[in-house]
Structure 1
């Protein structure tokens, strides 16, 4: 059996493909790439093409429909996993192209699990990549976290109730896939006085990249599916931090060892 390799390509800019990812794509492995519908353009494949890589003639598309229909999804996953196992059974590695990072909200982890259910012996290699929110913070000139600040990354679909709660718990919120809730999120941020410390990034790294700091003007606009918001709360009250080393009592005393008790320290 060949290896299943998740090749992270970054969110859109081919210059963010790592050296290891680039090498995997030129290693002779069979390419597989995700599409929403058969014979549709693949965003992940486009990243590789814009980087100057030639698509191999035997590259294979795997269909992962954008639906919440559990039956349709189960059938699609089963087909994709079965096809991948067929390819791996030829003894050749399969490089699955992943936009962003393969370990972060990525189709690849689902595929790897489904493949291993069919063929437990398959080796899986995950090549890390640049996540969309890391690239978004860089292009928007925003720090995700400094010193002791905290960060939470959540799908915006959890709703404004949870977002409102987390604003007080974290210094920075990364809201993924904000398309369906843009106006509701804007209302919340306006109410909390955080419009000025939030920004919107769409299709980061791609030729259609858009960064919006004056996010109030997005109200009523239909944004792209590949979009996120970075929300920062500089007024958040923080708890006390425990710093340095702390002592804890030895678990075994002199009565059982005949040795004097010594304090044990561990990193704080």
Structure 2
């Protein structure tokens, strides 16, 4: 660890309710010198910042990093590296820096790509990950639906390719959570019906469901 560098904090801000941020997340948000968050190239809005806004000082130094949604892996890697270098420049000046992310900081998060690059470029930078409540846990809580009981297993997977993952893993676990489902609801519903699971499934922004 290089004592002259700041610490990089990944902070999960939870599923959307500002009251669901952890006490540690709030404390670290107000501890750091610079707060970064992801925004699209089209605008400078960050939902993660808006969720955390009630806990952020009016004097906070908040900066947006643009992450273009692309299917080109080289383009995405280049943009991740550019943004990682922006963060590293602040850390190497001795500043403590946070990156805010929706849900949990290490579950389908841009932060995961950033820390991989930072660890490669400067292994001496200390990194601390502050977990947040992921969307599927908030969804299950809203529906008062236990996700696993007894000796059951739970599979968490992406719905970004529609029902493909569900068809692949059907029967591997008693309970399945599909995240990132927003563009493929119909195909996912079709896959559930094909597996005879539609009746026992529940839909929610977190896409949590029993697959018994």
TM-score after normalising by structure 2: 0.90
Structure 1 outlier segments of 4+, above 6 Å: none
Q: Is the 8 A contact 1:194 1:231 kept in 2?
A: no
1:7 to 2:4 alignment? no
1:22-33 equivalences under 5 Å are 22-33=26-37
Give unmatched runs, 5+ long, in structure 1: 203-227, 235-268
Corresponding position of 1:248: none
1:72 to 2:50 alignment? no
Corresponding position of 1:142: 145
**Of the candidates 168, 172, 175, which is equivalent to residue 172 of structure 1?**
175
Cα shift at 1:186: 1.3
Q: Distance in 1 between matches of 2:128 and 2:41?
A: 26
Q: Is the 8 A contact 1:31 1:56 kept in 2?
A: no
Aligned-partner SS, 1:5: strand
RMSD: 1.8
Q: Distance in 2 between matches of 1:135 and 1:164?
A: 25
1:132 to 2:135 alignment? yes
Number of aligned residues: 208
1:229 to 2:207 alignment? yes
- Write out per-residue CA displacement over residues 60-117 of structure 1, whole angstroms, 9 at most, x where no aligned residue: 1111111112232122112101111111122110011111111111111111111222
Cα shift at 1:128: 1.2
TM-score after normalising by structure 1: 0.72
**Of the candidates 178, 186, 208, which is equivalent to residue 183 of structure 1?**
186
Q: Is the 8 A contact 2:9 2:99 kept in 1?
A: yes
Corresponding position of 1:193: 196
Greater RCO structure (CA 8 Å; 6+ sep): 2
